[in-house]
Structure 1
Amino acid sequence: MTLRFPDGFYWGASTAAHQVEGNNVHSDFWLMENLEGSIYREPSGIAVDHYRLFKEDIGLLASFGLNSYRFSIEWARIEPEEGKFDQAAIDHYREVLLACLSMNVTPIVTLHHFSSPQWLIRAGGWESEDTPERFARYCAYVMRELGELIPYVCTINEANISIGIAKIIKRHQAGGDGQAQVGINTTDKSRMVAYFMEVGKAFGLPPQEVHSFHGARTEKGLEVIFRSHTRAREAIRVISPNTRIGLSLSLYDIQSIPGGEEHASHAWNEEFLQFLPYLEADDYLGVQNYTRMVYGPDGALPVPKDAETTQMGNEYYPEALGAVVRFVSKHLAKPLFITENGIATDDDTRRIEFIDRALRGVHACIADGIPVIGYMHWSLLDNFEWQLGFSKTFGLIAVDRATQERKPKPSAYHLGRIASSDSL
């Protein structure tokens, strides 16, 4: 049976600036990757050189039959020093947007995707009361320059990510399955202490006062992140009233077995429901999902030993996406954009199967009246996976990093055929 998606559905793939562009030298991640004794598997370097090869990459995306591209503008490039904006950087992103539009590809622009300017971290980072105004100033500058070319903007990628990172690290410290997802051997205490001492020295701060976006968050820090979103939204509305505004959240499909219902309810509140007041004035929500989390009487359960897993250690469970969309829609009456969904695997047949099963769930949601407006696969390119370096392959396109040659995978053409026909 053919499953038809609505006319005008957005089909595409996502990237993040630091993971693909290369030479993001003013960012906090660049500094931390390149320290002696770094816990990063390798530095990002020129990454996959997307800063130079963006036209080729967008052209490939369009050639597959996809009609949308979600990418991020890098704050550390736009404002490498506080209050000093780089015209060459803004001109570059104008060229990216124009390339999208010239190829009939709708750009969906993220204004902050994990990496931050080094000066912001030195000024208190994502725990500082001044960060919302600083972020709004940057967003306002970008939208004054480029807003007429941006139909959709995502202010902050995975604004709730610190909650999930803290849980992964806690599970690993307890002997669980979290190490693959963060790339940090948290049992190597001496190395961790030495590394964070070096991080502090590099930023000129005590280690406990280095507040990057990926770091542990206090309740105040979470509030700073979401207030940054609301202040940015206010600024963008004035400057670019036709741009539709949202943010994205990282959401597990949270399930429970008997006795785990209270833990699951707490997890949904912690990871999603508590943020609903910040989303009321948004135009849409970006939903990002990769797997499920099951709770029992004693808390989160490990991935079953007999379950298929991805390179990230996640359970292979594409049905999670549809379940998350259903839960979110019960609590938030907004259009939903799937801004990330995918798997890290070197077996592309499993990626194709994942796409099909995930999209069946999305289609069922749409058939039931849930307003899902697009699906952005993660990721367009095999890229730099933060602390894990280039070891995890999420992309529809493989990259030979010695030559930067692009090698589309069968999954790219498979998703493109679905997109071209709006049917599965």
Structure 2
Amino acid sequence: MRLPEHFLIGAATAAHQVEGNNIRSDLWAMEHMKHTSFLEPSLDAVDHYHRYEEDIKLLSDAGLNAYRFSIEWARIEPEEGVFDAGAVAYYHDVIACCKKYGVEPFVTLHHFSSPKWLMTKGGWEASTTPADFARYVHYIMEELGSELHYVCTINEANMGIQVAAIAERYKRQMMAQMQAAQTAPRSGDSADGTVQVGINLEKMMENQKATALENMEVFGVEKVENFTSMRTREGDLLIMKAHELARKEIKALYPDIKVGLTLSLHDIQPQAGGEARAASEWDEEFLHYLPYIKEDDFLGVQNYTRSLIGPDGQLPNPEGAELTQMNYEFYPEALEHVLRRVAEDFHGDLYVTENGIATSDDTRRVAFIDAALNGVAACIRDGLPVKSYFHWSLLDNFEWQKGYSMTFGLIAVDRSTQTRHPKESLRFLGSWNR
């Protein structure tokens, strides 16, 4: 089935994961700590900072018509209240490059990484952060807004709540195992695989005391509240306030820009006796955000797999299920299910801003894309306002605490030379736009 004529079909990246040498960010500092939970530092990543034109041209040549990328706050405002005109010029150039190759730039203003100075003020649990974020948004939109049609304020605004939930689940699991004198969780059932971001939860929990001491040396606080930290209820609301202030700034300057945020959403499927728990999970993951996004032009839907929910919560992956490198179940049908469910309560446009798998077998990525896009096409056929599909990711890149071990990309990168090797999945995704 053909997609609509003006449908955006593209791929996504995040600045810290691809640009390299993001030395003013909180994550750069955390990667280089002695008691880090990162497998390895990002360093020069895949050098997208210098090779963005090559990458955008590869995207365009394959037939894709849109590129979702993020602007790095730590580059734009490396010190509080001090803005870097050179960093702004760089993003001007990236946007211009997109247009040179007929690609629609779809910009995200915050994708997990933040300026290091923000952490010294209390990070994403500080009452001052929404205003700090709004100041940055005002500045960058004054500089770049005239060139843009689509802006995501915050990527996966619900990520910290999800991390907090799996941390609590992990603690309960460990307590139960100690009481039963059991060993570690079975392979493939680790809590790490139930959140849609690369984290090393076990290492984080083991290193808490040592990390607190080192945090004081590096950041001046015992607990670093970065964006993907275990979020409190108060912190969750602060993120929504930051989004609302950012939207206000954008609309005041450029009322025609389409503004929204993105959420990490699972296809939550209740199993026998798990109906009430599944409803609670969906409220936590999506419904309670509705009052804060009702004035948005769109919602960015980000989905990778499903969650099976029993009476006591998350169930292990089904016996014999195909798993990705991230321990997600290979389940591309989840995207269609999530789009249909979200559309029941959110009545703006829906943009698929991330969907994909980490795998070394590109034939499985092709199969995943095919199934996912057929689901998107079915939603459109039934009248749902789905306007885009951005595959995660354009490049094999730095997958946060998992380092470079996870391969999500449509393009492989030999990091010893930074040579690009487009995969068949890139061509296949582009074929949907022909």
Specify if TM > 0.5: yes
How far the C-alpha of 1:366 sits from its partner, in A, is 0.6
Structural mapping, 1:59-70, within 5 Å: 59-70=57-68
Name the structure 1 match of 2:148: 150
In 1: Cα distance, 2:273 partner to 2:243 partner: 36
In 1: Cα distance, 2:216 partner to 2:340 partner: 43
Report the AA paired with residue 13 of structure 2: T
Which residue of 264, 275, 291 maps to 1:277? 291
Describe the SS at the equivalent of 1:330.
Answer: coil
In 2: Cα distance, 1:8 partner to 1:55 partner: 24
Q: Is the 8 A contact 1:160 1:222 kept in 2?
A: yes
How far the C-alpha of 1:169 sits from its partner, in A, is 3.2
Q: Is the 8 A contact 2:18 2:45 kept in 1?
A: yes
Report the AA paired with residue 361 of structure 1: G
Distance change >3 Å, CA 47–CA 188, structure 1 → 2: closer
In 2: Cα distance, 1:293 partner to 1:154 partner: 26
Distance change >3 Å, CA 187–CA 5, structure 1 → 2: closer
In 2: Cα distance, 1:360 partner to 1:171 partner: 34
TM-score (norm 2): 0.94
Report the AA paired with residue 417 of structure 1: S
In 1: Cα distance, 2:200 partner to 2:149 partner: 38
In 1: Cα distance, 2:199 partner to 2:387 partner: 33
Distance change >3 Å, CA 188–CA 164, structure 1 → 2: closer
In 2: Cα distance, 1:197 partner to 1:334 partner: 46
Which residue of 372, 388, 391 maps to 1:374? 388
Name the structure 2 match of 1:257: 271
Name the structure 1 match of 2:192: 179
Structural mapping, 1:170-249, within 5 Å: 170-173=168-171, 174=173, 175=185, 176-179=189-192, 182-184=198-200, 186=202, 190-207=206-223, 210-249=224-263
What are the Cα deviations for residues 320-345 of structure 1, in whole angstroms up to 9, with x where unaligned? 00000000000011100000000000
Which residue of 317, 320, 325 maps to 1:311? 325
Describe the SS at the equivalent of 1:331.
Answer: coil
How far the C-alpha of 1:189 sits from its partner, in A, is 5.2
How far the C-alpha of 1:127 sits from its partner, in A, is 1.0
Q: Is the 8 A contact 2:153 2:247 kept in 1?
A: yes
TM-score (norm 1): 0.96
How far the C-alpha of 1:237 sits from its partner, in A, is 0.5
Distance change >3 Å, CA 137–CA 369, structure 1 → 2: same
Task: Answer yes or no: is 1:11 the counterpart of 2:9.
Answer: yes
Name the structure 1 match of 2:26: 28
What are the Cα deviations for residues 226-248 of structure 1, in whole angstroms up to 9, with x where unaligned? 10000000011011222110000
What are the Cα deviations for residues 199-233 of structure 1, in whole angstroms up to 9, with x where unaligned? 232101122xx211010111110010010000000
How far the C-alpha of 1:185 sits from its partner, in A, is 5.1
In 2: Cα distance, 1:265 partner to 1:188 partner: 29
In 1: Cα distance, 2:70 partner to 2:377 partner: 27
Give the number of aligned pairs: 416
Report the AA paired with residue 89 of structure 2: D
In 2: Cα distance, 1:204 partner to 1:304 partner: 44
In 2: Cα distance, 1:21 partner to 1:171 partner: 34
In 2: Cα distance, 1:38 partner to 1:118 partner: 16
Name the structure 2 match of 1:358: 372
In 2: Cα distance, 1:155 partner to 1:262 partner: 32
How far the C-alpha of 1:187 sits from its partner, in A, is 6.7
Describe the SS at the equivalent of 2:344.
Answer: helix
Name the structure 2 match of 1:405: 419
Name the structure 2 match of 1:321: 335
Task: Answer yes or no: is 1:292 the counterpart of 2:322.
Answer: no
How far the C-alpha of 1:188 sits from its partner, in A, is 7.8
Report the AA paired with residue 145 of structure 2: G
How far the C-alpha of 1:184 sits from its partner, in A, is 1.9
Distance change >3 Å, CA 219–CA 391, structure 1 → 2: same
Report the AA paired with residue 382 of structure 2: D
Which residue of 388, 395, 400 maps to 1:386? 400
How far the C-alpha of 1:190 sits from its partner, in A, is 4.7
Report the AA paired with residue 231 of structure 2: R
Distance change >3 Å, CA 296–CA 144, structure 1 → 2: same
Question: Relative to structure 2, which stretch is displaced further, 166-175 or 273-282?
Answer: 166-175
Name the structure 2 match of 1:417: 431
Describe the SS at the equivalent of 2:324.
Answer: coil
Report the AA paired with residue 314 of structure 1: Y
How far the C-alpha of 1:287 sits from its partner, in A, is 0.2
Q: Is the 8 A contact 1:169 1:186 kept in 2?
A: no
Question: Relative to structure 2, which stretch is displaced further, 57-66 or 35-44?
Answer: 35-44
Identity fraction in percent:
53
Describe the SS at the equivalent of 1:369.
Answer: coil
Describe the SS at the equivalent of 2:245.
Answer: helix
Q: Is the 8 A contact 2:25 2:114 kept in 1?
A: yes
In 1: Cα distance, 2:164 partner to 2:299 partner: 23
Which residue of 322, 334, 349 maps to 1:335? 349
What are the Cα deviations for residues 87-117 of structure 1, in whole angstroms up to 9, with x where unaligned? 0000000000000011110000000000000
Report the AA paired with residue 317 of structure 1: Y
How far the C-alpha of 1:296 sits from its partner, in A, is 1.0
Question: Relative to structure 2, which stretch is displaced further, 47-56 or 184-193?
Answer: 184-193
Describe the SS at the equivalent of 1:186.
Answer: helix
In 1: Cα distance, 2:333 partner to 2:293 partner: 25
Describe the SS at the equivalent of 1:276.
Answer: helix
Q: Is the 8 A contact 2:15 2:70 kept in 1?
A: yes
